[in-house]
A and B are shown apart, each in its own frame.
Chain A
Amino acid sequence: MDLIRITDVQKTYKTGTVALYDIDLTISKGDFVFVIGASGSGKSTLIKMLYREEKPDKGSIMIGGINVAKLKNRKVYILRRKIGVVFQDFKLLPKLTVYENVAFAMEVFNYDKKKIHHRVMEVLELVGLKNKARMYPDQLSGGEQQRVVIARAIVNNPKLLICDEPTGNLDPDTSMGIMKVLDDINKMGTTIVMTTHNRDIVNAMKKRVVVLHEGKIVQDYERGKYYEVV
């Protein structure tokens, strides 16, 4: 079954830059999809339209029955509750502990403390940070900070996890650790869309690869490898 169906999408920024055009893409439930392409090819723009940070000027984006392209500003939260987002620059709150940063995402739902505690500890264990719950972000390494962000992104059990260059600031070993965590999450049923520059990661993972070139999808491989598309 399709979780994401993008039809004939075009995005022009206010500056006049056409960041994306003629985009058609379907992603099934449970898929793991890499979006690759040179810098400026439109990867982040595509990601931003998935979580409705940007709106397309043409076409439709259906995610789990929601027409994201037509979603009203005050209804955006309904979409956001179904997806988790991970960035290259981690976006953690520096004055909150690891635990509080993850719990922050659950407090939106007014769950009781016990339930929040139980679930936060569960995801912290999943990303391997159970013993660092009381630390502050600046006491953690880059890889660990990114794990916190991933924990926060999945704490509410989203159907879809989207990641914009989650390993962009990390060294190769740390990056592979992050990929292991993402692969585990995908195996538990969460659909993942991830942009990257890193050919080693793409080659190692052997997942579907969508290639963007100057705002257009030029290739789409099942179980692709990076070298095939360069």
Chain B
Amino acid sequence: MKLFRSINRYFRDAGKSVVRNFSLSLASISCITITLIVVALSIVLSYNVEHMAEHVSSNTSIVVFLDEDATENQIEQVKNNLVRIDNVGEVTPKTKEEWAKEVREKDKIISIAIDSWPAGENHLMYSYVVKVKDINEIDNTASIIEKIDNVSYINYGKEYISSVITIFDVIKKVCIGGVVALILVTAFLIANTIKLAIFSRKTEIEIMRLVGASNMAIKVPFIIEGSFIGFIGSIIPIVLTFYGYNALYNFLDGKLFSSSLGELVEPYPFILYTSLILLVIGLLVGMFGSYNAVKKYLKI
């Protein structure tokens, strides 16, 4: 009963205290809000870039064309050689007939040419579609495949892929670098704001000590207050993430360059996790900031 009363009082007092020291609380709250917005943006950006990169990787394949005169045995042999390569994932055969069908659909003139072939004759090549596991290794893998017996030539959008990879890599690095720098700066700012806010309450802490509050009893209200401040500070970033990302996703129809390459992460459950992360960071920053600032006044 007594414990319950004191827990209840801690929360009530923390609330009162945030209100009473409103201007200073507001400084800490805004600081946390700004930091969390930066964090939210960085999560959204890097997660989406990662998502696109993954999409590109998992859909990038090398098409391996075999010599026209390769026998069934040799065709099988090529496949065995392919799957033995480290970076090779799925290997799907694509027959001459499948190629003929695909080409026909794409181009009318070629379609007429193919039709002019005598029945049963097909001058297209047997091939394998090879998916790579690590897109960054695609050049190496391609050159290994080229050397396999009975492989005529291979095809993968070399320039296109490597430029996409480079762009994603740059975005990711800039993102991480910028975010780390910004977070460091704002973390420093938060620590100082909270320190300042608590410095102005030096007398309060002194009096608490003077009248016999234990160190624990002094710290706990400040930590709870810090968590309040963190909580309030995370509201705007969470709301922004929630509505902002949903709106963006709907506005862009889920795609960035109106191609499957720029596919965005679906809002659910992504924004729920992001919100949770923001809330936890807000609470922790508020609590640790307060704890750290108040600790200093409890030493003599």
Contact = CB atoms under 8 A, between A and B. Distances in A.
Interface in B186-213: 203-204, 206-213
Contact of B9 (A74, A78, A105, A107): A107
Contacts of A108: 208, 211-213, 217
A77 B300 contact: no
B203 A93 contact: yes
Given A73-B215, A74-B214, A80 B299 contact: no
B298 interface: yes
Interface in A94-115: 95, 104-105, 107-110, 112
Interface string A15-30: 0000000000000000
A218 interface: no
A105 B217 CA distance: 13
A105 B5 contact: no
Contacts of A229: none
A109 B206 CA distance: 17
B211 A152 contact: yes
A95 B217 contact: no
Interface in A45-75: 51-55, 73-74
A80 B298 CA distance: 14
Interface string A185-203: 0000000000000000000
Interface residues of A, number: 25
A74 B203 CA distance: 19
A127 interface: no
A110 B9 contact: yes
Interface residues of B, number: 22
Contacts of B203: 91, 93
A93 B2 contact: no
Residue with the greatest number of chain A CB neighbours at <10 A, chosen from B210, B215, B298: B210
A110 B300 contact: no
Nearest to A112: B5
A108 B213 CA distance: 6
Nearest to A54: B300
Given A52-B300, A93-B204, A93-B207, A77 B5 contact: no
Contacts of A76: 209, 300
A33 interface: no
B300 A53 contact: yes
Contacts of A178: none
Interface in A139-159: 152, 156
B20 interface: yes
B211 A156 contact: yes
Interface string B170-182: 0000000000000
Contacts of B9: 107, 110
Contacts of B299: 73
B117 to A, nearest CB: 93
Contacts of B143: none
A213 interface: no
Interface string B256-300: 000000000000000000000000000000000000000000111
A95 B21 CA distance: 9
B115 to A, nearest CB: 92
Residue with the greatest number of chain A CB neighbours at <10 A, chosen from B204, B212, B216, B300: B212
A81 interface: yes
Nearest to A87: B210
B6 interface: yes
A110 B3 CA distance: 9
Given A76-B300, A80-B209, A112-B5, A95 B20 contact: yes
B85 to A, nearest CB: 64
Interface string B28-47: 00000000000000000000
A54 B204 CA distance: 19
24 contacts: A53-B300, A55-B300, A73-B299, A74-B216, A76-B209, A76-B300, A77-B212, A77-B214, A85-B210, A91-B203, A91-B210, A93-B204, A104-B207, A105-B207, A105-B212, A108-B208, A108-B211, A108-B217, A110-B2, A110-B5, A110-B6, A110-B9, A112-B5, A156-B211
Given A73-B298, A77-B209, A77-B214, 9 more contacts: A51-B210, A76-B300, A77-B215, A85-B210, A91-B207, A105-B211, A107-B9, A110-B2, A110-B5
Interface of B: 2, 5-6, 9, 20, 203-204, 206-217, 298-300
